Amino acid sequence: MDGIIPLFKERGMTSHDCVFKCRGIFQTKKVGHSGTLDPNVDGVLPICIGKATKTVNYLMNSGKVYRGEITLGFSTETEDLDGETIEEKDILKPFEADEIDAVMKQMTGTMIQIPPMFSAVKVNGRRLYDYARKGETVERPEREITVTSFIQTKPAEYDTENKRQKIYFEVACGKGTYVRTLAVDLGKELGVPAVMSDLTRLESGGFRIDKAFTLDQLNEAKANGTLESLLYPIDAALTSFKKYELTDEQWAIVKNGGFLAIDSFNDEPMVALVYENKIRCLYRLNSEKNRYQSETMFDLG
């Protein structure tokens, strides 16, 4: 079987746990996911099966949408509720909606973000969380991220007893964005410690959460013999590329990894090439050599 399953990852599981279980369900080792979700986060996690594993990078490059909650008044070492509290400050006066909105708006667009110490980013061949767990410090690499929108989804709530305030948000962002770091940075802009206290991924790779299947549903479909019908085709991961139908002559060239004429595809930087109603490969424009050449081959059968 080849294709993509929008999986609903439940809380308490790692993304690797999901891959491991899907290997058993689909009875293949060729399984990959398109963007890690922390164990305490649930939501849609596209899982690629068989030949579709070649589309993982393209799915990861697509935008993601999250909905969650930020708590103002304390912060943790992990930037979420899994870590130890490192700072506390009473919110004596709740922030007004327009004040929060203004900060959120200025946190959209392209910006530089420093990933949290408790993350899987590698520095000198080691994951940052390896350094963090051993109490070691290391300079973290800056990365450019894009936040398309960052908005409140309902009025913030103020806890008069604990002197804390909860902000409910939705964010649309690009590859590599740490939403828990956004939560912490929002607090910094407001002048108070903050933590991401809840998060669900609503969309990833073009798949919405309402189209996602649980592991229980996959197991049920397997038992009923309908598992393959749940798979989305490889094409679903490549919607951002313009499609071109190949002639029989072009297909013969492509099957052997050959080059295509530079005037074949209207100077598109990357094209999805279709033969017999399937996307077979991606070809990219090489302007220096005046040709289109193979980028990724998916299905030559």
235-272 burial string, b = 16+ CB within 10 Å, else e?
bbbbeebeebebeeebbeebeeeebbeeebbeeeebbb
What b-and-e string marks burial along 105-125, b requiring 16 or more CB atoms within 10 Å of the CB? eeebeeeebebbbbbebeeee
Per-residue pLDDT band at 120 (split at 50, 70, 90): confident
Categorize the per-residue pLDDT at 1 as very low, low, confident or very high, splitting at 50, 70 and 90. confident
Whether the Cβ atoms of residue 201 and residue 130 lie closer than 8 Å to each other: no
Is residue 235 part of the annotated active site? The answer reads no
Q: What is the number of other CB atoms lying within 10 angstroms of the CB of residue 135?
A: 6
Average of per-residue pLDDT values in the chain:
93
Spatial separation of the C-alpha atoms in residues 184 and 116, rounded to whole Å: 10
Which listed residue (2, 17, 38, 198) is catalytic?
38
Contacts of 7 (CB under 8 A, 6+ apart): 18, 22, 44, 45, 46, 47, 212, 213, 214, 215, 218
More confidently predicted of 137 and 96: 96
- The one-letter code for the residue type at 91 is I
Q: Please say if the pLDDT value at position 118 is more than 80.
A: no
Q: Is the pLDDT of residue 300 over 90?
A: no
- The string of pLDDT tens digits covering residues 27-80 is 999 999 988 899 999 999 999 999 999 999 899 888 899 999 999 999 999 999
With 0.75 as the threshold, say if the pTM is over it: yes
Reported as a single tens digit per residue, the pLDDT across 186-244 is 999 999 999 999 999 999 999 999 999 999 999 999 999 999 999 999 999 999 999 99
Residue 116 has what pLDDT?
A: 76
